[in-house]
Structure 1
């Protein structure tokens, strides 16, 4: 059956970066786990959000985290210098929960805070 990881979280970016995010997601499309990505039907105000939620096999973690690493490297698109940022919780059936932060142009991985344990009940 395999080991699964519950991945859920979001990215924040601007409109120009959203186009790049969509290109990266599309370039990794697998017609299965890639269906976990979504965006609001209509964006509200200036921040663009992209969400992911799916239970994926442990063997697909590299597929997913590589997308996050590519997305994190998207450059700022205006003089504000804002990079794509986001937060994901990954609940691993065996190894427990991890927090994935997309910030400062990279993906930072650390153990999830114990207060999020209820999500992996």
Structure 2
């Protein structure tokens, strides 16, 4: 059956960055089952846009997701404030446990998740 990994989290971005995130996600739509885990609220509010992801994927597909997330993280700032995309994902591996993926400063930083979030794996 294989090992599964639960990925759940969100991104924060501006309007122009949101359009680029959608392009990255849509490029995978026809080819990859797990691209269906992305969710874009039909109506965004105020000045921050939100993008969500949630799915249980096979462990061998984690690199695919991480590659997409790194592509998203590299999207340049599009305003005078130079705000890059930020986000947070909790990644729960059936064997290796939980990690925290922070999207900030144009990269994805991976570290062990705090014990406070272990309830998500129970």
Q: Does 1:110 align with 2:101?
A: no
* CA distance, structure 1, for counterparts of residue 57 and residue 32 of structure 2: 13
* CA distance, structure 1, for counterparts of residue 106 and residue 115 of structure 2: 26
Runs of 4+ residues over 2 Å off in structure 1: 28-31
Number of residues paired by the alignment? 121
Q: CA RMSD in A?
A: 0.8
**Secondary structure at the counterpart of residue 7 of structure 1:** strand
Describe how 1:1-121 pairs up with structure 2 within 5 A.
Answer: 1-29=1-29, 30-121=31-122
- TM-superposed CA distance for 1:26, in Å, is 1.4
Normalized against structure 2, the TM-score is what? Answer: 0.96
Contiguous gaps of at least 5 residues in structure 1 = none
* CA distance, structure 1, for counterparts of residue 63 and residue 97 of structure 2: 17
| Alpha-carbon contact 1:28-1:67 (below 8 Å) kept | no
Deviations 1:16-53 (A, max 9, x none): 00001011111233341111000112111110000000
**Secondary structure at the counterpart of residue 6 of structure 2:** strand
Normalized against structure 1, the TM-score is what? Answer: 0.97
* CA distance, structure 2, for counterparts of residue 31 and residue 110 of structure 1: 26
Contiguous gaps of at least 5 residues in structure 2 = none
